[in-house]
Amino acid sequence: MPRRGGQGAALTSTAFGHLPTEVVQTGPDVVAGFAHDEAQLVERAMPVAVLSPRTTAEVADCLRAAHAAGLAVVTRGAGTGLAGGANAPAGSVVLSTRRLDRIVSIDVEERVAVVQPGVITADLRAAVAEVGLFYPPDPGSVAISTIGGNVATNAGGMCCVKYGVTGDYVLGLEVALADGRVLRTGRRTVKGVAGYDLTSLLVGSEGTLGVITEVTLRLRPAPPPPSTVVATFADLQGAGRAVERLAADAVDLSLLEILDATTLAAVDAHTHMGIDAAAMLLVQTDLPEARATVEAVRSICDAAGAVDVALTTDATEGAQLLEARRQALPALERLGDWLLDDVCVPRRAVVDLVAGIQRVAADEGLTIGVFGHAGDGNMHPTIIFDRRDPAGVAAAHRAFDAITALALELGGTVTGEHGVGRLKSGWLTRELDPVALDVHHAVKAAFDPDGRLNPGSVLSPLPEP
């Protein structure tokens, strides 16, 4: 096993010396590559080692060893998180699930897949599509994120308006606990209500209650190719009226996205698509007979004051029309350093949220682009700043806090799909009532009494008595 100098290396050697050399890595360059996720302006430090187990038994062995040595353990998937949930505290070890990457089985008759946590989400979607099935969750990082990370944060995506989030597809879990015991939760049947719903409790727990080693997932029959509508508006209010009408009329949509003027300008500068609008809606439906639904969407957008409405029932053309949405974050990233927020409000409050964000941008002198899932109220304000400028960093922090506070004021939540991580642990305290916080801490203590799993993530430490 490679060695590092100092006390950390000695402790690592003592704790994990019995493990295979390929499981434990302590080289500085390797460790640095696993030290944090993609979150900006979140504290980060260097762990003392990276553990890359290949089996559930090795995961359990790693946790037993860390437990005995008193080491904190941060579980990491692909590192695509945006809330600092995979940022390692100093002196901790990172447990990477990258080698637990097998699709164990796909049961076509029962519409169930069993996978290890390191499976790439897009790879699973492609594998089940080959047998005529569909795994709906499609986070923005679908091409590189892992199923384990998606489960840990209860990730969503653009299809949530119809199909829900990752947790809606998790039937059961295999989880290694902090002391190395292995827990199985849930079922493989269509129905089942035996005992407490530990599966739902562990979904979204962000590595603070255990390490996911296997996931049993519900699948759906593959839907028809989607039909697509793209509508541009001269003002944000028009787009908002269309969203409200689509929701009120219960139009059966599989995707409903919105982009504001700042985001559209960035996308146009990046792609030269010729976009010039104050707001854009991108809408899809995957109903078998979609023509009537597409025409209803066009009619609603026209009535709301759309400047232009384009529609297609061709899947390839639809993918091309959606390209503006997929380029939103890459386009905004080109403008400078960025801090991506993730808040969710009632759908009727989406326009109020975006308008409020525009006021925050003006007050702070910042560029803030807004895009997201209008169909479920989950928006992604992206704050552009210069991290070399202390005043700019301070303004970004103030804007981030103002936007998150606004979401709560509008009856929303501080995170819709990215998770709490370290970025928003303080905001969780504001959102939850005191009794709910007490129960959260009690659950954490039941699963991880020594507080060794991902400390500092999700829950802020309790004050000393």
| CATH assignment at residue 23 | 3.30.43.10
Residues 107 and 217 in one domain: yes
Is the Cβ–Cβ distance between 278 and 236 less than 8 Å?
yes
User: DSSP assignment, residue 418?
Assistant: S
Task: Report d(CA 309, CA 325) in Å as an integer.
Answer: 16
Q: Residue 173 domain-assigned?
A: yes
Do residues 217 and 111 share a domain? yes
Task: Please tell me whether residues 194 and 230 are part of one structural domain.
Answer: no
Q: Which residues pair with 93 in a beta bridge?
A: 49, 73
| Residue 40 located in a structural domain | yes
Same domain, 115 and 160: yes
5 pLDDT higher than 90: no
Tell me the average pLDDT across 168-183.
98
pLDDT band at 109 (very low <50, low <70, confident <90, very high): very high
- Asked, for residue 258, whether it belongs to a domain, the answer is yes
On whether both 304 and 290 belong to a single domain, the answer is: yes
**What DSSP character marks residue 1?**
-
The whole-angstrom separation of Cα 421 and Cα 85 is 4
Residues 231 and 145 in one domain: no
User: What residues make up the domain containing 273?
Assistant: 223-327
Average pLDDT, the chain: 94
* Number of domains comprising the chain: 3
The last residue of a domain, from among 164, 195, 221 = 221
CATH number of the domain to which 216 belongs: 3.30.465.10
Same domain membership, residue 215 and residue 113:
yes
Can you give the pLDDT at residue 2?
34
How confident is the model at residue 13, as a pLDDT? 72
Q: Is 90 within the bounds of a domain?
A: yes
C-beta atoms surrounding 224 within 10 Å: 13
pTM: 0.94
Please check whether residues 15 and 90 belong to one and the same domain.
Answer: yes
* Residues 90 and 39 both lie in one domain: yes
Residue 161 sits in the same domain as residue 124: yes
- Work out the pLDDT band at 4, boundaries 50, 70, 90: very low
Q: 285 CB contacts (<8 Å, ≥6 apart)?
A: 226, 227, 251, 252, 253, 254, 293, 294, 297
Give per-residue pLDDT as tens, 22-54. 999 999 999 999 999 999 999 999 999 999 999
Residue 7 confidence (pLDDT) above 60:
no
pLDDT in tens, 198-248: 999 999 999 999 999 999 999 999 999 999 999 999 999 999 999 999 999
Band of the pLDDT at 311, cuts 50, 70, 90? Answer: very high
Nearest-angstrom CA–CA distance, 117 and 461: 28
